[in-house]
Amino acid sequence: MMRALRPEIFNTLYRLVAERIPDPPVHPKGGCRRRVPDRICFEGIFWRFVTGAAWETIEALLHYQVSDTTLRARRTEWVDAGLFHQLMEDCLATYHELIGINMGDVAIDGSAQLAPGGGPDTNNCPGSKGRQTMKWSIGVDACGIGLGGVIASGSANDYPLLQPTLDEVCARDWTAAIERLQLDRGYGYPSLPDKLTRHQINDVIVTMRNKPNQGRIPLVGLKRRWVVERTNSWLTNFRQLKINWDRTVEHRLAALQLGLAVLIIYRLVDHLTANHQPLGSIR
């Protein structure tokens, strides 16, 4: 978690964000107070994302250079402009150019997390002890790089989320074809082939669910599916994703996209540093 706050990570991330920040909205009456600099606002938004601290706490940590209300408003402005989605897409494109996305084994799985703030698409789920939860479903390549994800309520079954997750994963020309799709037993329904007809998938590795009066089908282990479990674990290191207080689906999805982008930046920084290349290659 704390690696995200290191200068080489944060400065690289903000440089990418700054290039994609939209022009500020025009004030309806033709004028307004001087805007707080974008860097200060992003710093507050990112600190909250990493630490999970309250907006008021972030305001104090920034020595009251910006109010919690302005931080919320600026985040909403950027979410509505699609900044975090574009950031994730551009980080993926850069990773594919410098290292290469490996579509040989794509794994998909969901992860339910607490959402105490409630709001749309939150519900309690088994094990949450009556507390509100949300869920994300993500797809990753063979190295655990996040290719896209969707947000749902914590009680949602993973199986109905498979097709929208695949739509996100396969939305690009260079991720459209999947050599092998790795799924756990939660996806092992007889109707599974019908959900895959829209996508170029050569092979599916999944353990079918137990059927009544036919004995118990033994588990086959994680195999290549462990990479998505690892990525889900890494995402929960960001406290805003671990205990999500956002009240809208758009804000939760933006937080997930930011988390996936940061994990990609980790890999890119390590790759460029090991090869003695400048971090400016990340664009």
| Mean pLDDT computed over every residue of the chain | 89
Beta bridge partners of 138: 109, 149
What average pLDDT score do residues 175-196 get? 90
End-to-end CA distance of the chain: 23
pLDDT exceeds 70 at position 151: yes
Stretch among 55-64, 184-193, 220-229, 254-263 having the lowest mean pLDDT: 220-229
Q: How many Å apart are CA 279 and CA 92, to the nearest integer? A: 16
Q: With a cut of 90, say whether residue 166 has pLDDT above it.
A: yes
DSSP letter (8 states) at residue 177: E
Residue 143, classified by CB atoms within 10 Å of its CB into exposed (0-12), middle (13-18) or buried (19+), is middle
Question: Residue 218 — pLDDT band, cuts 50, 70, 90?
Answer: low
Where are the domains positioned within the chain? 101-246
User: Cα–Cα distance between 278 and 15 in angstroms, integer?
Assistant: 14
pTM as predicted: 0.92
Strand locations in the chain, DSSP E? 106-114, 133-140, 146-153, 177-182, 200-205
Please write down the long-range contacts of 218-226, taking CB distance under 8 Å and 24 or more positions apart: 219/185, 223/182, 224/105, 224/107, 224/142, 224/180, 224/182, 225/107, 225/109, 225/182, 225/183, 225/184
List the CATH code of the domain at 101-246: 3.30.420
Q: 92-101, 157-166, 190-199, 214-223 — which is least confidently predicted?
A: 214-223
Instruction: Report yes or no: 147 and 169 within 8 Å, Cβ to Cβ.
Output: yes
